Structure 1
């Protein structure tokens, strides 16, 4: 399957780099206490989606009297229109960090996945959501953007077949010993940080395996998967947790963050640190896998 609208890997790499530089270089640290920066990031996402032909929904709420919003763009499905594949990434940063990898990389991939899907006619409806307020002090609270969003989708009875969370996905290395793990996990996975990971809880394992099979059928980029307990450090540390709590299948796509990336939540998490050729290869493979699921169902 060719990428939507003829995207080449070289062009994809350039676009991913441009998004990360805009978010983490030009805008920088962005959260509700840096309102102008957070709004600039939201406006950038809205403008990109608008240029791709999407009508963007701004789902607003307030935190301590301050306005903030989740952003949503939708590619309507055909035969399976009521079934939803949701792809999301948070666009805020932790205080003190420009957030190139966490999570400028996730937002950059989100924008390019939506661009490529704009050239497809999926059977399932595909929602692209940029979440606000993932980082502390909102994480695991009712004010976390994805918690607000997941609560509303459950209230409406939305048929979300899989939520895919893009979280810190831009750093890779072929060096021996570059990959770390929680205790015992290193017995089953490689010690080189050259792969992308799919992480799920046990209830989401079947959907994760379906996504993994589609990815491996479409790409030779190294992929590792694990379905495990949510209490393992890092396993539930992003927006997929909000959907687990509402009973939806959800998977985190990650480079494993602090288990390999030395600049995690750091002032030096800057755009030049990311590995853009690998990032582009992974994003292309993820698009092809998601396109397969959106066409065939989950």
Structure 2
């Protein structure tokens, strides 16, 4: 997940009732018992074992964008959608890929285990190591890093901003250490001539260095990065379409369900985001033969981990008519970890919309009270900027295995998969079923939530 920093909502509110003017002309909601009966047409068909099995297949190896492993995942996903009777398309798009470099970090004369950050430039720097906090502009105003190597803690701002801030202050290289246990795999988002060489290290190693510096001991460090570079690559989106079955009553509206099928280097990506893809596949199976008056599109995106490239490519390919017809986009990203927190909905602007309201109502009916907050950095973002109501479904705080080799099948919770599938499935079907208008207002709106941060940050 990429792009915008998390911004906490500092609001307190309760469940709200009533219908705003925008929904005043819509038909009244069905009685709760009738709604639950319609939900059950979807819920009773959802099988978390199917979701789990698809995660097992997809997470057998990392699915880095542009690689053969990602292409094999694309073919698997398309074949599953096709087997359910959907019209399918594999949509290619090109992007610039970063060739992983050879890196070396030494503290004095001792090597230090480290990882590269995608798009870090090649180069070698030797100098005094200086602790620069989070490398915000305020942090760097209080420390002299000119001609030195900046030691920086992960969190609050993007890796790219940390490196750019340190470089602007005169640092010759940047070492970023994790703020949670374990190694750190990250990206600077895109090439930038203003970057200096940057690497990552574990929380344990970083805190040792901070402690040594705090004791007044001087540390000399060397960062050497060679062999990195940019090449042209191809990734793909998978699109599956279910046309309305009630042709004579079709609404001419579209609902989109999304997830991303790529993963970061070194991670099998069982939760991030094989869980979202597998849940989409199960909902596609369940909805395949249901009566609908609304077009449903399931889309799995490539190269999300490189900056939402697939979802931007998909939205860019939509005509203005299609954009106007999409009434909601449901993005499922990391929806199955046993070690993560509660299911939360996030919108780019932190405001409620059709997706959050209908999903909150579905959550009440299925026994899960949902909250919402403000967060970008997943594939709901391009839809938002195209004027389409969109929300990200994710568990918060994140699991400690995020973006690590430990994001594996054994960490997946079938209960969390079932919960997410039921809520999204019920909300999508409330839009798509023939007996209700697509923009029907829910009687229950979600509560805003105050989270200080996504655990570890979605960097």
Q: TM-score range by the shorter chain?
A: 0.7 to 0.9
Q: Partners of 1:269 and 1:209 in 2: how far apart?
A: 28
Q: Which residue among 218, 222, 234 is the counterpart of 2:365?
A: 218
| Counterpart residue number, 2:425 | 287
Are 2:392 and 1:252 aligned?
Answer: yes
Structure 1 residues 204 and 157: CA distance shift in structure 2, 3 A: farther
| Counterpart residue number, 2:336 | 170
Task: Kindly indicate whether the alpha-carbon contact (under 8 Å) linking 1:24 and 1:99 is maintained by their aligned counterparts in 2.
Answer: yes
Q: Which residue among 370, 375, 383 is the counterpart of 1:243?
A: 383
Q: What TM-score comes out, normalization by structure 2 length?
A: 0.53
The 3-state SS of whatever aligns with 2:59 is helix
1:202 deviates by 4.2
Gaps of at least 5 residues in structure 2 are 1-37, 97-231, 440-459
Q: Which residue among 288, 301, 304 is the counterpart of 1:134?
A: 304
Cα deviations by residue, 1:73-124 (Å, 9 ceiling, x for unpaired): 1111243442111001000001121100000100010100111110212221
The 3-state SS of whatever aligns with 2:256 is strand
Alignment RMSD = 2.1
Matches within 5 A, 1:1-298: 1=38, 2-4=40-42, 7=45, 12-25=47-60, 28-33=61-66, 35-64=67-96, 65-77=232-244, 78=246, 79-136=249-306, 139=307, 144-158=309-323, 159-172=325-338, 193=341, 195-202=342-349, 205-220=352-367, 222-228=368-374, 235-256=375-396, 259-295=397-433, 296=436, 297-298=438-439
Task: Kindly indicate whether the alpha-carbon contact (under 8 Å) linking 1:162 and 1:248 is maintained by their aligned counterparts in 2.
Answer: yes
Query: Which segment drifts farther, 155-164 or 114-123?
Result: 155-164
Task: Kindly indicate whether the alpha-carbon contact (under 8 Å) linking 1:172 and 1:255 is maintained by their aligned counterparts in 2.
Answer: no
Q: What TM-score comes out, normalization by structure 1 length?
A: 0.80
Structure 1 residues 6 and 260: CA distance shift in structure 2, 3 A: closer
Task: Kindly indicate whether the alpha-carbon contact (under 8 Å) linking 1:89 and 1:110 is maintained by their aligned counterparts in 2.
Answer: yes
Task: Kindly indicate whether the alpha-carbon contact (under 8 Å) linking 2:90 and 2:238 is maintained by their aligned counterparts in 1.
Answer: yes
Q: Partners of 1:107 and 1:226 in 2: how far apart?
A: 22
Q: Partners of 1:41 and 1:7 in 2: how far apart?
A: 25
1:66 deviates by 3.0
Query: Which segment drifts farther, 155-164 or 245-254?
Result: 155-164
Gaps of at least 5 residues in structure 1 are 174-178, 180-192, 229-234
Structure 1 residues 13 and 104: CA distance shift in structure 2, 3 A: same
Cα deviations by residue, 1:15-56 (Å, 9 ceiling, x for unpaired): 11101100112xx111235x2101110011011111111121
1:217 deviates by 4.6
Task: Kindly indicate whether the alpha-carbon contact (under 8 Å) linking 2:360 and 2:370 is maintained by their aligned counterparts in 1.
Answer: no
Which consecutive segments of 4 or more residues in structure 1 shift more than 6 A?
Answer: none
Q: Partners of 2:77 and 2:313 in 1: how far apart?
A: 19
The 3-state SS of whatever aligns with 1:135 is helix
Task: Kindly indicate whether the alpha-carbon contact (under 8 Å) linking 1:204 and 1:249 is maintained by their aligned counterparts in 2.
Answer: no
Structure 1 residues 247 and 7: CA distance shift in structure 2, 3 A: same
The 3-state SS of whatever aligns with 1:127 is strand
The 3-state SS of whatever aligns with 2:370 is strand
Cα deviations by residue, 1:249-298 (Å, 9 ceiling, x for unpaired): 11111113xx2311000111001101112322331232122211222212
1:145 deviates by 0.4
Q: Partners of 1:67 and 1:249 in 2: how far apart?
A: 29
Q: Tell me how many residue pairs correspond in the alignment.
A: 259
More helix by share: 1
